[in-house]
Structure formats: C-alpha cells, structure tokens
Amino acid sequence: MKNVTLKTALITLTLAFALGGEPKIARYDIPMKGEKELDVELNFSVGTLDIRGGEQRDYILRSGISYFKSTYKPIIDYKILGEKGKLKIYSESSSTELNFKKRNLNSVENHWRLEFPHKLPIGFDIELGLGEGNLDFTNLDVNYLSLECGMSDVTYRFDKPNKTRLKRLIIESGLGEVSGYGLLNANISRFEIECGLGSTELYFDGISKGDIKGDVTVGLGSVEIKIPRNIGVEVETESSFLSTIDLNDFDELEDDYYRSENWDETEYKIYLNVSIGLGSVDIDWIDD
C-alpha cells in the first residue's frame, strides 16, 4: 500500500524522540471453553492493527499489544451466551473522536496483533479510526464481516477458500485507501461498499462458489473492481455528468444497464448496483 511503510516508520521514529523509552507490552489470551461460534466487536482508534488466523485450537484469542499511553491499552470484554462467544475489544480512546487541532497524532502510536481460531465460524464488526490495518482472514471461517475504515489505510484478504458462506460483507471507507483481495475465495453472497473521499480496490480473484450481489456507493472517491473473465457481470448504474464510470468489454442493453460480453458463456454471475456522486468507478478484468 502506498507510503504505508514509510509513514509507520516516521511515526515510530518521531514517537521515540518525543517520549523516549520503550512501549508497554501486554498479552491477552482467552482459552476456549466449548464455544461453537464467535462474534467479535473491535473498536480501534489509531495506530496499526494486525489480524490473522492461527494454528492454535485451544484459544478464542491470542494477542500481543504494544502501546505508549494507558488510554490506548485494550479493554477485553468476553462472555459466553449458550454456545456462542461474544468478544468486545476497545480502549478508552475508542469512544472519543480524534481532534486534529488539539492532538499530536505522533504521540498515540499503538500496535495490536490479534490471532483468532480457525475452527469456529466468526462474525467480525470492526471499526478503525486513523492508521493502518492488515487484516488476513485466510485461515479463518468468516460468516459476517463489517469494516468501517474511517481515515485508515486497510488491506483485507482471503488467500484460501472460506469454508462458510460469508452472508454479508460491508465496507465503509472515508479518506483512506482500502483494498480487498481474494473476494471470490471469501465465498460472499452479498456485499455493500461505501466509499467517501478515499479509494477502494476490490479484487475478485480466487475460486467462485456461487452468484454474488453487490451495492457500490461512491461520493467523491474512486472504486476499482477487478473480476476474472470466467465470471459474468451485470451493472445497473445511477450517476450524473459529474461522475465517471469506466466499463471494459460490456454491452449497454438500455440506459444505465450493462452486461459483460462474456455473459452467456459464464456459470457464475456478479450483479452490481452502482451509485456515483462526484467520484468514479472502474470495472476491469483480471487476465490469466
């Protein structure tokens, strides 16, 4: 992702000079107690968030946290209702809107590394404020995923097929860059993308297991969608003369209604409803 590594290094270096000393380190491990399903609610205000699936089978959560300020120390709330675990992770700062005039962002460096079990179906509701998110769902069994990215630069990925049908994928982005990879592997049935002022990339690579329906809403930002040529695509658009939609190898069947030229030769389809304000949407192909 553009400039992310450089940005993170500069934040860390500035912080070291400003505060001195080493960050506080904490571990939080929650043992498994017979749960059959897990819901995760995560509110992360600023810094770097890493999520991945682990090989461990005996823990709901294993984590390593580094932070400088006590207000960014995570608060863990976990309870079991029936056979479902309910996990909430947040910090005192999560409930406060960032005030850019009064707050020096270099003084709130924060890094959470979270590892979840691969043998339970998991629903994720994640809010990120400002920073960087590296969310690797490859070895997890995800049945629901909602990402509210704020001003963060976020990458989320499914590098292997998701065992469970992902019933709903919701991505909301503000000013940051948000990229999703392996979205056919995610085994999605429906998705909703809302892009404000930033940019969103959707790569539908992987193995398809069924048709997909999606809504894409763009304000002033840009959305780029990449789809393999063995998938047919239908697009209905709502736009204005101030917006841009770029479709390659599509036929216009009627006003604002398009189908890809490969439609009749493909087994699986993606149905898109696209609404654009002053931004742009580009739908193109992943060539073998």
**SS3 letters across 9-59:** HHHHHHHHHHHCCCCEEEEEEEECCCCCEEEEEEEEEEEEEEEEEECCCCE
288 residues of the chain, pLDDT tens digit each = 434 333 333 333 333 334 445 778 889 999 999 999 999 999 998 999 999 998 777 899 999 999 877 878 889 999 999 999 999 999 877 434 454 433 445 445 789 999 999 989 999 999 999 999 999 999 999 999 999 999 999 999 999 999 899 999 999 999 999 999 999 999 999 999 999 999 999 999 999 999 999 999 999 999 999 999 999 999 999 977 778 999 999 999 999 999 999 999 999 999 999 999 999 999 999 986
Given this model, what pLDDT does residue 199 score? Answer: 96
Q: Tell me, rounded to whole angstroms, the distance of Cα 288 from its chain centroid.
A: 26
With tokens 């894409």, the residue in question is 216
Given this model, what pLDDT does residue 17 score? Answer: 36
- Among 276, 283, 189, which Cα is nearest to 235's? 283
Given this model, what pLDDT does residue 108 score? Answer: 53
The span from the CA of 275 to the CA of 194, in Å, is 10
Task: Locate all alpha helices (DSSP H) within the chain, ordered by sequence.
Answer: 4-19
Given this model, what pLDDT does residue 21 score? Answer: 52
Given this model, what pLDDT does residue 2 score? Answer: 39
Given this model, what pLDDT does residue 100 score? Answer: 43
Do the beta carbons of residue 251 and residue 258 sit within 8 Å? yes
With tokens 């036929």, the residue in question is 251
- Among 215, 127, 162, which Cα is nearest to 53's? 162
